[in-house]
Chains A and B, each alone.
Chain A
Amino acid sequence: MKVEQISIFLENKYGRLAEVTRILSEAGINIRALSLADTADFGILRLILDRTEEAKQLLKEKGFTVGKTEVIAVEVPDRPGGLAGILNALEGEGINVEYMYAFVQRSGENAIIIFRFDELEKAISALQKAGVRILRGEEVYAL
């Protein structure tokens, strides 16, 4: 049910993001989903990869601060109101979304949205109750 995501602290300065992608590329690690949150001084790069643990070790060795978090990947119908239905279900249960980011699959009719919750288990059961399909980790890594 849960997907492993790594997050990387990046200073807002030239070439840092490129450095991360270069390290991953050289190791043949594939990025499945990505989001970059930024402030004036720094950014947090969040990645879902096909080889999480390996990538984490690698980046740490290269001197990055890396964290690992569990998130949820949810299938959302790729049509108007698709996301609204899911957020309604969460709101009804009083669950707060810390952050989320979406990526649209190449072929399917569904989009996939990555959610970060503080109350992970509660969110999972709320989504299941609403009939939302939650992707397994392996499914996401292999996308």
Chain B
Amino acid sequence: MIWNEEYETMPREALESIQLKRLQQVVTRVYQNVEPYRKKMDEAGIKPEDIRELRDIEKLPFTVKDDLRDNYPFGMFAVGLEKVVRVHASSGTTGKPTVVGYTKKDIETWAELMARTLAAAGVNSGDVVHNAYGYGLFTGGLGFHYGAERLGATVIPISGGNTKRQIMIMRDFGSTVLTCTPSYALNIAEVLYDSGIDPKDLNLKVGIFGAEPWSPKMREEIEKKLGIDAVDIYGLSEIIGPGVSVECVEKKEGLHVFEDHFIPEIIDPETGEVLPYGEKGELVFTTLTKEAFPVIRYRTRDITRLIAEPCICGRTFYRMEKVSGRSDDMLIIRGVNVFPSQIEHVLMSVEGVEPHYQIIVDRQGALDMMEVQVEVSEEIFSDEIKVLEGLAKRIEQDLKETLAVSCKVKLVEPRTIQRSEGKAKRVIDKRKI
């Protein structure tokens, strides 16, 4: 089902003329209201009136995550806090999170986009949406919540965790739609089997899964184990949260980008050049309608390509292929973004800890497990077990506070972590996604 026929099936020409008008408006707004954007544009010698056609977007400087860090917390907001009604945050590259803001109208826009998203997955007002995305600073929970309400569906704001209780509620309340990370969906499926519950006893028909990369094979497994359609959703808090693009349940191949609100570009991550249509590269987004936190050419670091071929569902929006990787070292652990630099930051704050560490990520059952190996230097070594165990626990605690996801700290002998020439290989990802 298509929630907003007018926009979602608009002929490309009309859509592009709306995009140009909105692009000119947003560039003017950030130039006037957001100091860091004005500075960058002045340095590049670009004025808002230089944007005469859509292609002129290529003249604008990129925005990167470090820009958000440098202007932490509210320095990139385009309106005063009196107009901001909500903030969300995601992991930054160091200790500080990346903060984003929403005006009342932004919340409305987001709800509209999430209503479109849910509708694309086949959800309607008669459905019961079991929303197991985390509620809080993370955009997943509240993003889906508002969208499902806008659509008129019944929302169960269950958030994450306590899987047995989730299943009980799913069964008793007759949940028809499951929204969570794909790895959590698999976890639910496993617990379901362990409890001897047949998925056919549940009313589930579709799941909308995102916030972490997942493979076609994982989709197959989820669909088989839960007896549902599994569709992929894409979003990031810097752009709006979930609701940037979504697969339609009809095709389940490529995610339709809501282009009346976001312009996608694919660039070469090395040179920053815009790549010819259809090539694989780094995804860059410009928001067209956001008021509190507009972003211009934000480098997502996600690797994908754009698909222009018309889709059987009738939407005219371009699709982006399922994200296949990252152009930086960001990890996604149980749906939470983790940068090795954050871990380094925490380790360096512990006296005596050497800057040699390694991160090992694996998947046990359906759950991501992260182990941080730390070399035991003479400064932190003790002849007492309790001192060393206490140290490992303390680092685990500090990491959990910073990363918002738990991990295990393993103490290892010095010089056992592989030293590399040049860029250290910090991460060993054993997950087969």
The one of B383, B384, B410 that contacts A41, using a Cβ cutoff of 8 Å: B410
CA distance A65 to B385 in the complex (A): 14
Decide if A44 touches B378 in the complex (CB within 8 Å).
no
The one of A11, A63, A64, A116 that contacts B383, using a Cβ cutoff of 8 Å: A116
Q: In whole Å, how far is A79's beta carbon from the nearest beta carbon of chain B?
A: 30
Decide if B383 touches A66 in the complex (CB within 8 Å).
no
Instruction: Point out the residues of chain B lying under 8 angstroms from A37, CB to CB.
Output: 385
CB of B274 within 8 Å of the partner chain: no
> Given A42-B388, A42-B411, A99-B384 in contact, is the A67-B416 Cβ separation under 8 Å?
no
Q: How large is the interface on A (under 10, 10 to 19, 20 to 34, 35 or more residues)?
A: 20 to 34
Decide if B414 touches A63 in the complex (CB within 8 Å).
yes
Main secondary structure, interface of B, reads loop
Closest chain A residue to B416, Cβ basis: A11
CA distance A37 to B413 in the complex (A): 16
Instruction: Point out the residues of chain A lying under 8 angstroms from B381, CB to CB.
Output: 7, 9, 65-67
Q: In whole Å, how far is A43's beta carbon from the nearest beta carbon of chain B?
A: 9
CB of B328 within 8 Å of the partner chain: no
CA distance A116 to B383 in the complex (A): 10
CA distance A7 to B385 in the complex (A): 11
CB of A90 within 8 Å of the partner chain: no
CB of A3 within 8 Å of the partner chain: no
Decide if B378 touches A65 in the complex (CB within 8 Å).
yes
Decide if B389 touches A11 in the complex (CB within 8 Å).
no
The one of B382, B385, B412, B414 that contacts A67, using a Cβ cutoff of 8 Å: B382
Instruction: Point out the residues of chain B lying under 8 angstroms from A99, CB to CB.
Output: 384
CB of B25 within 8 Å of the partner chain: no
**Which residues 37-70 of A sit at the B interface, judged by CB distance below 8 A?**
37, 39, 41-42, 44, 46, 63-67, 69
Instruction: Point out the residues of chain A lying under 8 angstroms from B382, CB to CB.
Output: 7, 44, 67
CA distance A32 to B388 in the complex (A): 25
Residues of A within 8 A of B (CB): 5, 7, 9-11, 16, 37, 39, 41-42, 44, 46, 63-67, 69, 98-99, 116
7 closest Cβ pairs, A-B complex = A7-B383, A65-B381, A9-B376, A69-B383, A65-B376, A67-B381, A63-B415
17 contacts between A and B (CB under 8 A): A5-B383, A7-B383, A9-B376, A9-B381, A10-B413, A11-B416, A37-B385, A63-B415, A65-B378, A65-B381, A65-B413, A65-B414, A66-B378, A67-B381, A67-B383, A99-B384, A116-B383
